[in-house]
Amino acid sequence: MSNKKVRAIAFYLPQFYPTKENDEWWEPGFTEWTNVGKAKPLFRGHIQPRVPADLGYYDLRIPEVREKQAKLAFNAGIEGFCYWHYWFNGRRLLDRVFSEVVSSGEPDFPFCLCWANHSWYKKTWDPSKGPNKLLIEQTYGGVEDFSKHFYTMLPAFKDRRYMKVDGKLIFGIFDVSFQDYPLFSQTWNELARKNGFDGFFFFGLCSETYIINTAERNGIENIVVDNLVDAYYHADSAIKRKYGFLRRKYFHRPYVVHYEKYVRYAIDYLKSHYESTPNMIPCIEPGFDHSPRSAELGVIFDRSTPDKWGELCRNVINIISNSETHKENLLFIKAWNEWAEGNYLEPDLKYGKGYLDAFAKNMI
């Protein structure tokens, strides 16, 4: 029996509308749907392409789409969206959607931000085709740029919808190798207090548990642990890991892992580590299939179903809600709409609202 309500936050990808940069870097009109639509099945039973249902191939510049997304999420028991945020030393990209959410006051649905603080590349995925092409480099400009960054986002921080933990603004860091994090966090906390806030609840996203040490070494206080990579690499022997890498590189065969393996690994890891790790926040995925971006060189979690997702949700929610160590009771979901990586909760033609319904059932 649950003792307290879990605060579920879903990562939200804003890359579903054309931009000048994507027109130049990829092709005119390119959006995330471009990769989604051209995906093909790579083996018997492989579900591709993934086709959206209720919301269709939407354009996020349309406010009514954002309203429908918020309603679906709210009805499923999700507290808010964590929007991916892009800042490159004074330059924002893909900022239109979130800026309109803030300026319009709609949808009336809570939100926070996670800074995707890494360089962007046009990846070949295949070493034989040459090196990846750098599109835009992530650099850090010290206190001056950190201050500009803070004040640019201040209207969002002041918004009553902005999510907090113990009065502190929730803000995530994607690349935890961010060595300037101590200066960044010190600068932002000082500016937050100067502007009437209690400071920030910073977190770092770790998709591989081995980089937790990197995050902690750089001073990142809270760690969002996503066992995605562990489930298909580190949970196995070094020989199997090497085999998976070579299979993709030389034989152009996708690395396929049963979703059930991920479910079991994520539950077992949480049971073993959560209660003894006060700064740990779980992150779970309804599926994963990178083939829309990387084709036969992709990693695929095969045979994901709403029932298996529901099993993961039930166990994780139970662990969080009965914890005596953790008071913030946060749970991240990756993701709301990352269609080109096969991890989304939005309805599709295969399962309808099955994943949303399975989550909602376990949040009651």
Give the least confident one: 103-112, 121-130, 151-160, 271-280: 121-130
Could you tell me which residues come within 8 angstroms of residue 319 by beta carbon, excluding any fewer than 6 positions away? 270, 271, 274, 282
Closest by Cα among 147, 217, 137 to 186: 147
Beta strand pairing status for 91-93 and 111-115? unpaired
Q: Which residue has the tokens 């800026």?
A: 99
Average pLDDT over residues 170-174: 98
pLDDT at 299 over 50: yes
pLDDT at 14: 98
Q: Identify the pLDDT of residue 209.
A: 86
Question: Is the distance from CB of 356 to CB of 347 less than 8 angstroms?
Answer: yes
pLDDT for position 296:
87
Residue 241: pLDDT over 80? no
> Quick check: helix, strand or coil at residue 2?
coil
Residue 360 has pLDDT above 60, yes or no: yes
Q: Which domains does the chain have, with CATH numbers?
A: 7-237+259-293+305-363 (3.20.20.80)
Query: pLDDT by residue (tens digit) across 214-235?
Result: 999 999 999 999 988 888 765 4
Give the pLDDT band of residue 124 (cuts 50, 70, 90).
low
CA dihedral 27, 50, 305, 5 (to 10 degrees): 60
CA distance 314 to 28: 43
Measured between alpha carbons, how far is residue 356 from residues 33, 263, 344 in Å? Answer: 21, 17, 10
Query: By CB neighbour count within 10 A (0-12 exposed, 13-18 middle, 19+ buried), where does 355 fall?
Result: buried
Report the C-alpha gap between 97 and 60 in whole angstroms.
7
**CA 247 – CA 240 distance, rounded (Å):** 10
Q: Which residues contact 345 (CB under 8 A, 6 or more apart)?
A: 10, 73, 76, 78, 286, 333, 335, 336, 337, 355, 356, 359
Rg (CA), the chain: 20
The pLDDT of residue 240 is 64
Backbone φ and ψ of 344, nearest 5° = -150, 155
Residue 264 burial (CB count, 10 A): 17
The residues facing 86 across adjacent strands are 93
Predicted confidence at residue 251, as pLDDT, reads: 66
Q: How many CA atoms lie within 13 A of 130 on its CB side?
A: 4
Bridge partners of residue 65, in order along the sequence: none
- Residues, the chain, total? 364
Select the more confidently predicted residue: 258 or 124.
Answer: 258
Tens digit of pLDDT for each residue in 40-67? Answer: 999 999 999 999 999 999 999 999 999 9
Average pLDDT, the chain: 93
pLDDT at 1: 42
Q: What is the pLDDT of residue 244?
A: 63
pLDDT at 179 over 60: yes
Residue type, 161: R
pLDDT at 83 over 80: yes
The reported pLDDT for the residue numbered 162 is 99
Which whole number is the average pLDDT over 280-285?
A: 98
At 127 the pLDDT is 58
* pLDDT score recorded for residue 238: 59
Contact 192, 200 (CB under 8 A): yes
Distance of alpha carbon 118 from alpha carbon 137, whole angstroms: 7
Pick from 127, 48, 113: nearest CA to 302: 48
* pLDDT interval class at 255 (50, 70, 90): confident
Q: Three-state DSSP class for 132?
A: coil
Average pLDDT over residues 247-255: 71
- Average pLDDT value for residue range 179-185: 98
**Residues 6 or more apart whose Cβ sits within 8 Å of residue 68:** 54, 55
Cα 126 to chain centroid distance, Å, stands at 25
Which of these, 339, 341, 235, 244, lies nearest to 288 by C-alpha position? 341
Q: What is the mean pLDDT of residues 122-144?
A: 84
What was the pLDDT predicted at 99?
A: 98
Res 92: pLDDT? 97
Among 109, 3, 1, CA closest to 325: 3
